[in-house]
Amino acid sequence: MRKLQPDREGRFRALYADAYVDVLRFAQRRVHPSHAEDVVADAFLVAWRRAEEVPNRPDDARAWLFGIARHCLLNTQRGLGRQDALAVRIAETAPVTPAGGPEADAVVQRLDLAAAWKRLSAGEQETLSLSVFEDLTSPQAARVLGISAASYRLRLLRARRALRRQLDLVQRPGSSPARASHTSAASPSTPQQMETHP
């Protein structure tokens, strides 16, 4: 019979309940939605086997789980060629026919921002995402990436600059791909191969 370890199992169940949604959302931003749940299952399985290492503070535990999920994803994507960073998807933006007014302007700004995001490197997207989407502190984000907090702050500064630079470029008249008609999701390295299931 399997040996039960109630304390360890109880703690893990609490961690799962607390962090599952956040880890799922982390994965949804980085792989095709059809694969996100598999990534989360892989990450939590690793976490189960390393349960003694779970940080005590819930925010730190969440960041620790993101690091594991990132590692699982990088391992998988290396099949397509070695990568050190994960591209981050953003939402599909619907095609619009601007008819003027502030609402249309806001839509165009969103399209421009989406286009600018697509022009960032995977590393820049990942750096920004950990702060903006995952809402991590610099030390926590640094831990996810396996770098120092100071290095992360520097990367974040550069990534913000890069995004502004790309936003300026797409907003120049005649140069905006977003204004053409439609901007699709930025998923330059979404691992399509993982959509095949046995």
Partner 1 sequence: MNVHTPDSANSRLDAALRSLDAASTPTAEQHQRAAATLERIVATAPAADTNPGAAAPVRRTRRRLLLVPVAAAALTAAAIVLPTGNDGGRAYASWTPVPTALTAAEIDAVAPACRKRLRGGSLDLERARLVLAERRGEHVALLYRTDDPDISGSCLARNLQGDDDVDDVDVGIGGSTGPALPAPARGFTQGTIADYRDASVTDGAAGADVAGVTIHAGNLTVQASVSNGRYVAWWPGAALERDRDQPSGEDGARPIITYDLTLTDGTVVRDAQPTLPS
Q: Are 113 and 105 contacting, i.e. CB atoms less than 8 angstroms apart?
A: no
The minimum distance between CB 135 and partner 1, in angstroms, equals 7
Distance CA 159, CA 180 (A): 26
DSSP conformation class of 2: P
Give the residues lining the site for partner 1 (CB under 8 A).
2, 5, 8-9, 12-13, 16, 20-21, 24-26, 28-29, 33, 37-38, 40-42, 44-46, 48-51, 59, 75-76, 78-80, 88-91, 93, 109-110, 113-114, 117, 128, 131-133, 135-138, 153, 160, 163-164, 185, 193-194, 196-198
Distance CA 193, CA 72 (A): 15
Distance CA 101, CA 84 (A): 43
Structure tokens at 56: 């005590």
Taking the least distance from each CB to partner 1, the nearer of 101 and 114 is 114
The minimum distance between CB 187 and partner 1, in angstroms, equals 8
Taking the least distance from each CB to partner 1, the nearer of 24 and 145 is 24
CA neighbor of 124 nearest in space, from 164, 91, 93: 164
Question: What b/e sequence results for 46-63 when a residue is b if at least 16 CB atoms lie within 10 Å of its CB, and e otherwise?
Answer: ebeeeeeebeeeeebbbb
The minimum distance between CB 100 and partner 1, in angstroms, equals 20
End-to-end CA distance of the chain: 30
Taking the least distance from each CB to partner 1, the nearer of 53 and 98 is 53
- What is the phi/psi pair of residue 183, to 5°? -120, 125
Taking the least distance from each CB to partner 1, the nearer of 94 and 180 is 94
Taking the least distance from each CB to partner 1, the nearer of 98 and 157 is 157
The minimum distance between CB 114 and partner 1, in angstroms, equals 6
The minimum distance between CB 175 and partner 1, in angstroms, equals 20
Taking the least distance from each CB to partner 1, the nearer of 93 and 189 is 93
The minimum distance between CB 68 and partner 1, in angstroms, equals 11
